[in-house]
Amino acid sequence: MPALGNLQSLIGIAGIMLFCWALSENRGRFPFRLMVGSLLVQGLLVLVLFGLPQARGVLGAVNAGVEALGSATQSGTTFVFGYLAGQADAPYALTRPQAVFVFAFRVLPVILVVCALSSLLWHWKILKWITRGFGFLFQKTLGLRGPPALATAATIFMGQVEGPIFIRAYLDRLTRSELFTLMAVGLACVSGSTMVAYVTILKDILPNAGAHILTASIISAPAGVLLARIIVPADRNEIVDDVQPDDSRNYDSTIDAVIRGTGDGLTVLLNVAATLIVFVAFMALLDKMLAVLPPVAGGPVTVERALGYLFQPLAYAIGVPWDEAHAAGGLLGVKLVLTEFTAFIDLSAFATGPLSPHSRIIMTYALCGFANFASVGITISGFSVLVPQRRKEVIGLAWKALIAGFLATCLTAAIVGLAPASLFTLG
């Protein structure tokens, strides 16, 4: 990438943090140490993961574990729903294999399994020891206490609702900044259950798509923490006031933990599904209302096109050349208004243009996150079930979390834009 591209990415990194600082609830408490540490961690992870074959092997092993959990979930889903779950052979010829990925059968069941698994691990006291370990590790790095640190790590692979499930017993005692951080990181990352679908969509236009998707979710977590801490700075007593393991979440037996965890997961699942339907329907309704307007610039007026023009400067700032920034800005708009699935499908159509190979890599990282309007509903409904006593606070933070999560993936993309294109030519 030429020097100008690197300069663009530096402008994007500075501009994103400046914008978040303007939204901060306390502009006098900018986390300078966290900023330096987070950017260094992201940059080093990109260099290590793509520069060392041994590191890529370890990354593949972690990914295999996540896929194993998803595969196990699919076994149960297939037993109940058959070929509709996408694992069994369909009784018809498939002309578009990606179309068999049904959100209700491939993503939502993971909530049930993770809920039951977290309850089981809590009953066996495994999660309590893990919480202590993560508390020590992240107090020395990102400044997070044990419970939110564990949830942040789980969110990287499990998703925006499933990650916080692991610390459900702690959610009512998190500080405002910690709660907001979990919400923002959830929107900045993706889940292990969806990574394979993204790879399937992008494999024909993006070499080593699996490595890019997994790396994008991992390195977007520090970016989400950083931007969240800028917008809602940490409380002064967060670091010194450790949260001790709580014994109030008790189960009578192992089977009781599994059954009650499954019941909790079912409640979350239904809320997530219902809210997702409503938010996507609202956006479709808005587009129908805009359809009465006359065409602009040779096309109909839609929310996606308007946001595409709006985000063209942002796409340019994170490293996409200006002559490609309109198409890239449109992808950012599609991701925000609809979902990253739709944006990735649109990106897969750019095999020969209008984006260059390096721009496609940058946009893969920018799009790889759950930050969209529908996910705001998922976040609100999920956290409302997990911690109902803080529902009003969650609603008040949700849209700020969307901004933090959306810009976190753009920050990650800008850091990738700084790296030479040759780094991503793995062989």
Asked if 189 and 220 touch (Cβ cutoff 8 Å), the reply is yes
The whole-model pTM stands at: 0.77
CA torsion angle 43 219 313 209 (round to 10): 100
pLDDT digits (tens, 9 = 90+) for 202-229: 777 877 777 788 788 888 888 999 999 9
Residue 130 reports pLDDT greater than 80: no
Please list, in sequence order, all residues whose beta carbon lies within 8 angstroms of the beta carbon of residue 26, skipping any fewer than 6 positions away.
233
Q: What is the pLDDT of residue 101?
A: 61
Q: What is the pLDDT of residue 133?
A: 61
Local confidence band at 235 (pLDDT 50, 70, 90 cut-offs): confident
Local confidence band at 241 (pLDDT 50, 70, 90 cut-offs): very low
Lowest mean pLDDT among 26-40, 103-117, 168-182, 403-417: 103-117
pLDDT digits (tens, 9 = 90+) for 25-43: 999 889 888 898 888 888 8
Q: What is the pLDDT of residue 2?
A: 43
pLDDT digits (tens, 9 = 90+) for 71-81: 787 788 888 87
Q: What is the pLDDT of residue 132?
A: 58
| End-to-end C-alpha distance for the chain, whole angstroms | 19
Asked whether the bond before 420 is cis by omega within 30 degrees of 0, the reply is no
The gap from C-alpha 47 to its chain's centroid, in whole angstroms, comes to: 21
Asked if 335 and 372 touch (Cβ cutoff 8 Å), the reply is yes
CA distances from 322 to 36, 319, 354, 408, 411 (A): 29, 9, 11, 21, 18
